[in-house]
Amino acid sequence: SQQGEEDPQALSIQEGENATMNCSYKTSINNLQWYRQNSGRGLVHLILIRSNEREKHSGRLRVTLDTSKKSSSLLITASRAADTASYFCATRQNYGGATNKLIFGTGTLLAVQP
């Protein structure tokens, strides 16, 4: 399967704590993106990191990328109950052609307890 792996599969934390989830992928990539999905709804794009970047910040989100290990991590700081959702990494493979095909990871289900 081309699908990436994420761990943990599920994570439960208290409000105010930090949440870290990891993603591993299998092939050379052009960029890696993180998406959030609230309970069976559509996905919302959170952040994109290009293959030549190592770290990126957006608000309470921090993403790192290690292309040598084919892995990425998403850190959510000072979590809130509203952050409760599933989080997916997605990679756009480096075909060298014009395609937007994304390969998604298996997802991490984050529960933030108030």
Q: Is 88 in the site for another protein (CB under 8 A)?
A: yes
Binding test (CB under 8 A) with another protein, winner from 11, 13, 61, 102: 102
Among positions 14-43, residues that touch another protein (CB under 8 A) are: 30-31, 33, 35, 40-43
DSSP 98: S
Cβ burial of 78 (10 Å; 0-12, 13-18, 19+) is exposed
Residue in 11, 13, 48, 61 binding another protein, rule: CB under 8 A: 48
Q: How far is the CB of 96 from another protein (least distance, A)?
A: 13
Phi, psi dihedrals of residue 88, rounded to the nearest 5°: -125, 140
Q: Are strands 5-7 and 19-24 parallel, antiparallel or unpaired?
A: antiparallel
Smallest gap from residue 56 Cβ to another protein (A): 12
